[in-house]
Structure 1
């Protein structure tokens, strides 16, 4: 039966961010009971971890190897069938893997229905927190509803309107995080290095589901806060400013005109000659945000700018995830002339919003930024093949 294990937390998948969450939610690996990693269905990396039999985590006390048998549970469907369904699921794969995850969540809902428990989602259907980077929550919440409707159309689900659907949809929430983490190496030699405890803001859902998530997560000492009076998209935009500054502009700075790449920290990026570009980037995102009612017309851009800079400065010694991604792909000879999913799920929505708002100059700005990044990645990829 797909009953929830009340108070339990599942983290999907075992990636750099997921392991960082696991580290802090388990009191730095000292309290493992009730918190575990979940496989992403079809994940090759999960299969590799299971084959190796352990997950290596770099801590202040040295590298600790934890048994996958102990901390890595199967995917959501198999976990539900085995009685390991957590009450809260932190979802943090690459943004381009979120659609498959939403599909799995709907399949889980069908399983809940088949087991006769769909009328009480609070007891049978987890609270899902989408924690991957990007601007996507409104879109994926709509896709979630559409997939439920599709399942209804094909008689896999009954008609859940008007009473049950609101209870289900409010269990999909957004977690916008500044939690950091590193993944070093690959395969059996992979080592995860969690960053310092970082804040995650919970938005979306409703007051009851947000409060329940916060209670469960903060009881374990992690840093989660409720974004009660702010839309999920507003929180996404605020975080997008930071990600674009350090990840996208960071890559442009890290790859020179010949294609040579160097790792840079957040502090090095912020203190570079790119300060004028950082300011221009914030201006353009702010303009688009105002047009889609994320930012009020009366809001002061200086406050937004200062907030983004201060947020980034808190992690001045951290190497941005996209620079880690470039470095890893260069090391393995797999770098392609294309943006990482993190940048795609920031730039593409901004281009779409800009065009829909009639801001053709802003749309052109983001398109040119995208083209510049792809050109830099092409140079680095070609140089790496020589």
Structure 2
């Protein structure tokens, strides 16, 4: 009989965000054991590269007290820690189940366009568990799934998850799980909306991960028992996880979308000039006063769409939302937004193409869809214009760096 490894956390995959989670869940690499580890994404080429390299390099920041004649000062340095992949990288979920090594929580944080394949793998895991007659156990041997990638997608992917289970039932691969087991399964499908930052530098065997400071992740979705259990485990290991307010996951996704669009999308537009020359910008530089009108315009359209689909109340104030956005952004002024890191890496590798990153796609496309459904033509035109401007700037950068 297979059971979950109590209190354990599997991070899928070992990317910039995943490594940042690993860093803080291991108390800044001081408690690296079989309780926190990475999971392979099924059929992932990047996992094969990691295994071939034999190690994962993570920068550990150290604070040193420096004595001076007048006062004691704090200096920051870093040490690169090398961890054998054989020690901290486990196989994919299906293999972990067969090896009786399923984690209690899976933190899922790939590019948003990879989430669909992971959900398919999760349904295959359910089928394996069912084939062993274990779905009816009092302690369900099925992990909590915490989707932590950026984007507005939770409701859609939860629906896809249920539809894939129903499809497996239709084709006789699963027994009918209603009305008893299905709610227990869906209650473990959670959303982790995070402001955790991290940087990935280099490529293939020369990659170094630099985790950002401990950032907040809000757990929502599922049921209250699942949320509380996830927070108990994750916060107990030293990372900043907390229960989200009693509001919909989509509301929290909209709040985070404002941060991502203001820094990642507008940041790209600001970082590429008319000749296609790219300059890396920090969040603080993007927030400079000269850019405030652009951020306000963006926020007003997101807020308007949010009100139409009831994620923001009619009596809520845009100014309050803007103040919260600025507070969040100013807390990460020295951070280089992930999409700008992506452009910088692509330019250095001569692989930049005029296409949006998955993060922008999974923010803009849902907003356009919601705006169309709400008949907000001006917002549709605004978001379409943003998308076109971004493609134009990336085209300029692509041509300038060939």
Provide the TM-score with structure 1 as the length reference: 0.98
The correspondence for 2:151, drawn from 134, 155, 172, is: 134
Which structure has the larger Rg over C-alpha atoms?
2
Aligned to 2:285: 268
Match in the other structure for 1:321:
338
Equivalent of 1:339, from 347, 356, 362? 356
Does residue 1:147 correspond to 2:164, yes or no?
yes
The answer to whether the aligner puts 1:356 opposite 2:356 as a matched pair is: no
Aligned 8 A contact 1:109 1:125 in 2: yes
Q: Could you tell me how far 1:2 is from its partner in structure 2?
A: 3.9
Which residue matches 1:117? 134
Name stretches of at least 5 consecutive residues in structure 2 with no aligned partner. 62-77
Is residue 2–residue 115 contact of structure 1 (8 Å, CA) maintained in 2?
Answer: no
Q: Offset at 1:120? A: 3.2
Aligned equivalent of 1:240: 257
In 2 relative to 1, CA 12–350 (structure 1 residues): closer, same or farther, beyond 3 Å?
A: same
Q: What's the counterpart of residue 24 of structure 1?
A: 24
Pair 66,257 (structure 1): closer, same or farther in 2 beyond 3 Å: same
Q: CA deviation at 1:83?
A: 1.6
Match of 2:38 in 1: 37
Q: Tell me: CA distance 1:374–1:290, structure 2 relative to 1, closer, same or farther (3 Å).
A: same
- For residues 1-386 of structure 1, the aligned pairs below 5 Å read 2-33=2-33, 34-60=35-61, 61-120=78-137, 122-385=139-402
Deviation of 1:273 after TM superposition, in Å, equals 2.1
Structure 1 segments, 4+ long, off by >6 Å, are: none
Give the drift of 1:384.
Answer: 0.7
Q: Secondary structure at the match of 1:298?
A: coil
Structure 1 residue 122, shift from structure 2 partner: 4.1
Paired with 1:2 and 1:261, the residues of 2 have a C-alpha distance of 52
**Equivalent residues, number:** 385
TM-score of the superposed pair, with normalisation by structure 2: 0.95
Contact 1:121 1:167 in 2 (8 A): no
Distance 1:121 1:327, change over 3 A: farther
Quote the RMSD (CA, aligned, Å): 0.9
Post-superposition Cα deviations, 1:154-210, rounded to whole Å, max 9, x if no partner, equal: 111000111111110110000000000000001000000000000000000010000
Q: Distance in 2 between matches of 1:326 and 1:295?
A: 33
Q: What is the Cα deviation at residue 119 of structure 1? A: 1.4
Deviation of residue 42 (structure 1)? 1.3
Q: CA deviation at 1:123?
A: 3.2
C-alpha separation between the residues in 2 aligned to 1:309 and 1:42?
Answer: 40
Aligned partners of 1:318 and 1:46: how far apart in 2? 26
